[in-house]
């Protein structure tokens, strides 16, 4: 396993290019199952999770062409040969987003077998709402020996209300409904920009969808869909992470290709804390011109403050000297693991249930810390950039799942990070 060794105290200055969104690429890749043929996805980040989704699609009989992924961010996926309807445990256990194969497999073949995704570090993360959605479209769903079995009994439209706002649940059921006869209405949908990006690709393939990006989505089923090409949206969580990197080091960064309108709640919160952020022709500029202030943060479904930015915000607020901030995590039940590691660096954080009271300190010191999940590892890297002396972040395979060449991008802006093997 790898670790990152970060020499703290360097202001970041210069430019960082934002890559394509992981959480848009994954459902888009799964959606290629719906339309047999050659799909072309552009602006695809080269990440471990993208590799895993390619492996899953190949396991199902598709062909993934990653030959232009590094040079041109282009991923070709040919789903002509998809025969298998089974997403195996070995792959699903490494990436929960594999559940996104369920809806497309069911829609194309009338049956699907997907290993039941276990929990993960940040919570139980059930998929009951995915399964309920398929049942309401006419599937018989059972869970046996750790696998989800969905079998088409009949196929009819439905009005489906999600009890909880679920991003991949909305995506899965929306994909399944594209080939279900009649008009299906989904209520209490996730409104994330990644859901909109997926819907835009489905529309290109010939699906009939209205309302993506709102809490009410209408899908009128069609006979078949045809393969197309699509440019994936920039990664708004990567953008938010580097906005914090600029703020926490007191630097001045230009984030190229960033889409500010996908990130309004994060930008508003950073403004409230005293961070300067400006839209320029090439992207987003972030800098500081004075003391920061403590702010309260409450995560919520889009357009609220994204849970995927909570850990990064905690790192920044830990260093707002004299500032007091209350962070409330409303989406996942165990998403404060990074707080324990930040405390080891000297942060003053009191945890109580789903709330964390952060009292900013003047400085934190480098330490050996351990990453537990994707965004927690980003938070620890951010803290290391600002800490005194050296910070070692272990288990950075978490980071590699969702951040393309993070240390390379940060070092090009003045950071001092090197990757080493953990002994
Ligand atoms: C997506 O996960 C993202 N992943 C997550 O990003 C993100 O944190 C999350 O949405 C919330 O924004 C991808 O898009 C690939 P949910 P997802 O279903 O869809 C409960 C990252 O760091 N729930 O919106 O799995 C669930 O337990 C990752 O990039 C049910 O109870 O999250 C949670 O409390 C981490 N039953 C809440 O809903 C269900 O059937 C929201 O989960 C489904 C969800």
**pLDDT, tens digit, 9 for 90 and up, residues 308-334:** 999 999 999 999 999 999 999 999 998
* Contacts of residue 340, Cβ cutoff 8 Å, sequence gap at least 6: none
Handedness of CA 326, 327, 330, 333 (dihedral sign): negative
pLDDT at site 125 = 81
54 is catalytic: no
pLDDT, tens digit (0-9, with 9 covering 90-100), for 219-248: 999 999 999 999 999 999 999 999 999 999
- Best residue for ligand 1 mutational test, from 27, 92, 166, 399 (most atoms within 8 Å of Cβ): 166
Residue 77 CA neighbour count, 13 Å, CB half: 35
Handedness of CA 239, 245, 250, 256 (dihedral sign): negative
- Best residue for ligand 1 mutational test, from 98, 141, 164 (most atoms within 8 Å of Cβ): 164
Q: Cβ distance 32 to 175 under 8 Å?
A: no
Q: Cβ distance 217 to 211 under 8 Å?
A: yes
Give which of 318, 329, 276, 277 is closest to 295, Cα–Cα: 318
Q: Which residue has the tokens 């990453």?
A: 371
Q: Which residue has the tokens 């439905």?
A: 158
Tell me the CA distances in angstroms from 355 to 298, 318, 351, 352, one per residue in order.
9, 14, 6, 5
Confidence at 121, pLDDT banded by 50, 70, 90: confident
Considering the entire predicted model, what is its pTM?
0.97
Confidence at 124, pLDDT banded by 50, 70, 90: confident
List phi, psi (to 5°) of 366: -60, 150
**Tokens standing for 64?**
């993934």
Three-state DSSP class for 114? strand
Q: Cβ distance 382 to 366 under 8 Å?
A: no
**Tokens standing for 119?**
């929990």
Q: Which atom of ligand 1 is nearest to the CA of 306?
A: 12
Whether 166 lines ligand 1, by a CB cut-off of 6 Å, is: yes
Residue nearest ligand 1's atom 43 by CA:
127
Mean pLDDT confidence for 342-359: 98
Report the percent of the chain where pLDDT is more than 70: 100
């Amino acid at each position: 396993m790898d670790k990152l060794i970060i020499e703290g105290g360097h202001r970041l200055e210069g430019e960082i290019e934002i890559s394509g969104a992981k959480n848009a690429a994954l459902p888009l890749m799964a959606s290629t199952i719906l339309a047999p043929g050659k799909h072309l996805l552009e602006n695809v980040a080269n990440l471990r999770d993208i590799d895993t989704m390619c492996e899953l699609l190949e396991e199902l009989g598709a062909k993934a062409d990653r030959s232009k992924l590094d040079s041109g961010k282009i991923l070709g996926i040919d789903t002509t040969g998809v025969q298998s309807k089974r997403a195996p445990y070995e792959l699903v256990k490494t990436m929960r987003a594999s559940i996104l194969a369920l809806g497309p497999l069911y829609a194309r073949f009338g049956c699907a077998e997907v290993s039941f995704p276990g929990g993960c570090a940040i919570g139980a993360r059930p998929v009951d709402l995915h399964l309920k959605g398929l049942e309401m479209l006419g599937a018989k769903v059972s869970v046996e020996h750790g696998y989800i079995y969905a079998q088409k009994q009949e196929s009819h439209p439905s009005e489906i209300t999600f009890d909880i706002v679920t991003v991949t649940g909305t995506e899965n059921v929306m994909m399944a409904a594209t080939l279900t006869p009649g008009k299906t209405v989904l209520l209490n949908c996730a409104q994330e920009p990644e859901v909109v990006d997926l819907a835009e690709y489905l529309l290109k393939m010939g699906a009939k969808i209205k309302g993506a990006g709102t809490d009410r989505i209408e899908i009128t089923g069609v006979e078949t869909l045809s393969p197309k090409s699509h440019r994936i949206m920039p990664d708004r969580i990567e953008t938010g992470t580097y906005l914090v990197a600029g703020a926490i080091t007191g630097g001045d960064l230009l984030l190229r290709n960033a889409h500010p309108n996908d990130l309004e709640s994060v930008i508003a919160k950073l403004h409230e804390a005293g961070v300067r952020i400006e839209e320029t022709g090439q992207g987003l500029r972030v800098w500081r011109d004075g003391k920061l202030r403590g702010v309260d943060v409450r995560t919520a479904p889009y357009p609220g403050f994204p849970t995927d930015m909570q850990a990064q915000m905690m790192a920044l607020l830990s260093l707002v000297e004299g500032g007091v901030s209350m962070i409330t995590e409303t989406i996942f039940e165990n998403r404060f693991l990074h707080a324990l590691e930040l405390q080891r660096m000297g942060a003053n954080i009191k945890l109580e249930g789903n709330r964390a009271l952060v009292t900013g300190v003047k400085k934190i010191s480098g330490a050996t810390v351990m990453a537990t999940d994707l965004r927690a590892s980003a938070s620890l890297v951010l803290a290391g950039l600002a800490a005194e002396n050296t910070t070692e972040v272990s288990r950075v395979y978490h980071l590699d799942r969702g951040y393309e060449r993070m240390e390379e991008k940060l070092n090009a802006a003045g950071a001092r990070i090197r990757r080493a093997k953990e002994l």
